[in-house]
C-alpha cells in the first residue's frame, strides 16, 4: 500500500495489541503531536487505525498547597502541638495550643475548621481535647505524593484538596491509537512511502513542480488550537444587526443630540411639566450650558397651547403650570423619542410626507438604580411609522416581523399608559434560560396633542425598545451586567452569537 511518509511511520509505530498514546508515537517517529494526530485521522478514515479519546485529569499543587508540603497542614500542626501539650489526656486551653503551634493569622481559622472536620479533636469552652491515635493524614500524604511527581488515585482526598484550593485539576484529552485488522494486513503486505506536500510554497509554484507533486488532503474535522481574534462587542453586534433588520424593513436612520432641550425630550411629547419623571431625581441635567437658545418659535407656541388648552374641540389641557424656561433646560435624553420629535416636526430633515419610516439605535440616560435589568445608560431602539391609516394591528405586525428576525416568536402585548400615546402597549418576551417574562419595549399611537402641534396630519405609530433586553433574549444572558461592564465573562464575549 502506498501511504504518505508520516502516515506510514505512524502505522508502523502503532500496535495491534494495545492502544498507544499519540504523544508517545510522536516522540518515537520524531514528529509533532499535531502532525501525528492528523496522520492518525487519515489512517482511521482509511480503516487502518482506530482512535480512542479519553480525558485525563491531572492534579497539581497550588502555591498554598506547596507551602503546606514544607510546613505541614495547619490542622496537623495544631494537632501535633496539642499532643505535645498533653491534650490527649486532658483538655488544654486553646491559647496555649495555638501558641505552641506557631500558627498565625488566617492559618488559625483554617486549622480549627479542618481539625473539627477531620475529627482530630474537640473544642469546648475554649479548651481543646485531642483525639488519640488518628493515624496518617490522607490529605498530607496526597500533597507530598503530588509534590514528588506521583499521581494520586484517591478521588475523595483529591476532591477535598481541590475544595481547599490546595490542588488544581486540569483536564486534557488524550488520543490513543491501535491497529485494526486491516491495518495489520496492510503492514504485512508491505508499505510503500510516498512524499506528499502539505503546504504549497512559492518554490513549488514558480518551478511548476506543483503539477507533479501529490498533495496530502486536509482533515477539516481535526481539532485545532483556538486563536481568539479581535471581535466586535456583543452589544455592538446586536445594534448592527438591529440596524440591518430595520433598514431591510424600509426604515431610515435618525441622529441627534444626546444632551437636548427638555422641549424635545418632554414638552413635545405632551409630558406635563409637573410629571414625576421630569423632577431632578430622574434626569441628568446639564449645568453648562443650562439652556438652549434656538427653538422653533411657532412650534413652541403650539406645544404650549396644547399643554394649556389641549387640542381639538373636546381638548383639555393640563391646567397645570407651563413655563418656557423649563422647556429650554438641557438634560441628557431619557429616551430617544426626542429624535422622533425633531424629525416629525420637520426640523431635522425638512417636512416629511407620508408614508415614512425612521429608527435610531442610540444611547439614553436615566437616573435608575442599578440592578439585573437596569443600567444608568442603555441603548434604545427608537422607531416610528407615519402613514395615512394605521392601526394597532400594524404596530403589532411590525414588532412580530422585527422580533422574528431574531428568532423571537412569542412576544406579548400588555395595555399601558404613556402621556403621549393612545392606545399604548408594553412588549414582553420570554427569557430563553429562565422562562421569565421580561419587558422589552414600550409603544403606541401618538396622540393628537403630540401630532397636531408638530403639524403632522396622518397617523404615527411609535416605539422605544431596549437593545440590552433584546441582547439578553438572544444570548441568554441573565443579568444586564453580564453583557457589559467589569463582570462580563470574556469567554461569553468571545463566543456569544447574535445572528439568527
Residues of the shown chain interacting with ligand PHE in the complex, contacts defined by CB under 6 A: 335, 337, 418, 421, 442-444, 462-464
Min dist CB 441 to ligand PHE, Å, is 7
Q: What angle do CA 273, 369, 441 make, to 5 degrees?
A: 70
Q: Write down the least CB distance from residue 337 to ligand PHE, Å.
A: 4
Cis check for the bond before 284: say yes or no (omega within 30 of 0): no
In the bound state with ligand PHE, the residue whose beta carbon lies nearer, of 447 and 481, is: 447
Find the shortest distance in angstroms from Cβ 314 to ligand PHE: 23
Q: At residue 225, what are phi and psi to the nearest 5 degrees? A: -65, 145
Nearest to 303 by CA among 333, 339, 275, 262: 262
Beta carbons within 8 Å of 276's beta carbon, 6+ residues apart? 282
Smallest gap, in angstroms, from Cβ of residue 310 to ligand PHE?
A: 20
Looking at beta carbons, which residue is closest to ligand PHE?
A: 464
End-to-end alpha carbon distance in the chain: 48
Minimum gap (Å) between residue 460 Cβ and ligand PHE: 9
Question: Could you tell me the sign of the dihedral formed by the alpha carbons of 302, 305, 307, 310, in that order?
Answer: negative
Taking each helix axis from N to C end, the angle separating 181-189 and 5-13, rounded to the nearest 10 degrees, works out to 110
Which residues have CB under 8 Å from 111's CB, separation 6+?
A: 74, 75, 77, 78, 101, 103
DSSP 100-130: HHT--THHHHHHHHHHHHTTSEEEETTEEEE
Backbone phi and psi for residue 408, each to the nearest 5 degrees, phi listed first? -100, 110
Please say which residue, 158 or 332, places its beta carbon nearer to ligand PHE: 332
Closer of 4 and 441 to ligand PHE (Cβ): 441
86's grid cell: 498533653
The cell numbers describing 290, all together, are 443650562
DSSP, collapsed to helix, strand or coil, labels residue 274 as coil
User: Residue 447 or residue 484: which is nearer to ligand PHE going by CB?
Assistant: 447
Smaller CB separation from ligand PHE, 238 or 380: 380
Sheet with 127-130, strands from edge to edge, namely: 92-93, 127-130, 121-124
Contacts of 325 (CB under 8 A, 6+ apart): 291
DSSP E strand boundaries for 24-110: 49-61, 92-93
Within 13 Å, how many C-alpha atoms sit on residue 173's CB side?
Answer: 8
Q: Which is nearer to ligand PHE, 307 or 335 (CB)?
A: 335
| Alpha carbons 457 and 412: distance in angstroms, whole number | 30
Rounded Cα–Cα distance for residues 488 and 79 (Å): 44
Beta bridge partners of 175: 53
Q: How far apart are CA 84 and CA 483, in angstroms?
A: 57
**40/460 with CB nearer ligand PHE:** 460
DSSP reduced 3-state for 370: coil
For the CB of residue 446, give the shortest distance to ligand PHE in the complex, in Å. 7
Q: Least CB distance from residue 494 to ligand PHE, whole Å?
A: 32
Taking the least distance from each CB to ligand PHE, the nearer of 180 and 266 is 266
| Residue with smaller CB distance to ligand PHE, 194 or 416 | 416
CB of 103 to ligand PHE, least distance (A): 59
CB of 491 to ligand PHE, least distance (A): 33
Q: At which residue does the C-alpha cell 396630519 appear?
A: 457
* Residue 61 vs 265, nearer CB to ligand PHE: 265
Tell me how far, at minimum, the Cβ of 42 lies from ligand PHE, in Å. 59
Shortest approach of ligand PHE to residue 315 CB, angstroms? Answer: 20
Query: Of 358 and 406, which CB lies nearer to ligand PHE in the complex structure?
Result: 358
Given the complex with ligand PHE, which of 144 and 367 has the nearer CB atom? 367
Spatial separation of the C-alpha atoms in residues 283 and 366, rounded to whole Å = 6
The CB-of-444 to ligand PHE minimum distance in angstroms stands at 4
Amino acid at each position: 500500500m502506498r501511504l504518505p511518509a508520516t502516515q506510514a511511520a505512524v502505522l508502523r509505530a502503532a500496535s495491534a495489541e494495545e492502544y498507544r498514546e499519540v504523544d508517545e508515537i510522536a516522540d518515537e517517529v520524531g514528529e509533532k503531536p499535531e502532525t501525528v494526530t492528523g496522520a492518525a485521522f487519515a489512517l482511521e478514515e482509511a480503516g487502518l487505525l482506530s482512535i480512542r479519546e479519553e480525558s485525563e485529569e491531572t492534579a497539581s499543587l497550588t502555591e498554598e498547597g506547596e507551602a503546606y508540603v514544607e510546613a505541614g497542614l495547619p490542622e496537623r500542626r495544631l494537632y501535633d502541638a496539642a499532643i505535645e501539650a498533653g491534650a490527649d489526656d486532658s483538655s488544654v486551653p486553646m491559647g496555649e495550643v495555638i501558641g505552641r503551634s506557631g500558627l498565625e493569622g488566617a492559618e488559625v481559622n483554617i486549622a480549627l475548621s479542618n481539625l473539627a472536620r477531620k475529627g482530630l479533636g474537640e473544642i469546648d469552652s475554649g479548651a481543646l481535647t485531642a483525639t488519640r491515635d488518628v493515624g496518617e493524614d490522607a490529605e498530607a500524604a496526597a500533597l507530598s505524593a503530588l509534590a514528588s511527581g506521583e499521581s494520586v488515585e484517591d478521588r475523595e482526598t483529591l476532591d477535598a484538596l481541590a475544595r481547599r484550593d490546595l490542588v488544581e485539576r486540569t483536564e486534557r484529552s488524550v488520543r490513543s491509537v491501535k491497529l485494526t485488522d486491516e491495518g495489520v494486513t496492510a503492514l504485512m503486505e508491505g508499505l510503500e512511502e510516498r512524499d506528499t506536500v502539505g503546504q504549497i510554497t512559492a518554490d513549488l509554484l514558480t518551478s511548476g513542480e506543483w503539477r507533479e507533486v501529490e498533495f496530502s488532503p486536509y482533515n477539516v474535522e481535526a481539532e485545532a488550537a483556538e486563536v481568539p481574534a479581535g471581535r466586535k462587542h456583543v452589544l455592538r453586534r446586536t445594534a448592527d444587526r438591529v440596524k440591518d433588520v430595520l433598514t431591510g424593513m424600509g426604515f431610515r436612520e435618525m441622529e441627534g443630540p444626546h444632551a437636548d432641550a427638555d422641549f424635545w425630550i418632554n414638552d413635545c411629547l405632551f409630558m406635563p411639566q409637573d410629571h414625576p419623571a421630569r423632577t431632578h431625581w430622574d434626569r441628568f441635567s446639564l449645568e453648562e450650558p443650562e439652556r438652549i437658545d434656538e427653538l422653533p418659535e411657532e412650534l413652541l407656541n403650539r406645544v404650549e397651547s396644547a399643554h394649556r388648552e389641549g387640542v381639538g374641540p373636546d381638548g383639555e389641557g393640563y391646567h397645570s403650570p407651563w413655563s418656557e424656561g423649563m422647556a429650554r433646560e438641557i438634560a441628557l435624553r431619557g429616551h430617544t423619542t426626542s429624535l422622533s420629535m425633531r424629525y416629525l416636526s420637520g426640523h431635522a430633515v425638512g417636512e416629511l410626507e407620508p408614508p415614512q419610516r425612521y429608527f435610531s439605535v442610540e444611547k439614553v440616560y436615566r437616573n435608575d438604580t442599578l440592578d439585573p435589568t437596569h443600567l444608568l445608560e442603555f441603548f434604545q431602539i427608537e422607531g416610528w411609522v407615519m402613514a395615512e391609516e394605521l392601526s394597532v394591528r400594524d404596530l403589532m405586525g411590525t414588532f412580530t416581523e422585527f422580533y422574528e428576525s431574531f428568532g423571537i416568536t412569542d412576544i406579548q402585548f400588555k395595555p399601558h399608559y404613556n402621556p403621549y400615546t393612545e392606545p399604548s402597549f408594553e412588549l414582553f418576551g420570554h427569557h430563553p434560560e429562565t422562562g421569565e417574562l421580561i419587558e422589552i419595549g414600550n409603544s403606541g399611537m401618538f396622540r393628537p396633542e403630540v401630532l397636531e402641534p408638530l403639524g403632522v396630519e396622518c397617523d404615527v405609530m411609535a416605539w422605544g425598545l431596549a437593545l440590552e433586553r433584546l441582547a439578553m433574549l438572544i444570548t441568554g444572558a441573565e443579568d444586564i451586567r453580564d453583557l457589559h461592564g467589569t463582570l462580563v465573562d470574556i469567554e461569553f464575549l468571545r463566543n456569544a452569537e447574535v445572528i439568527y
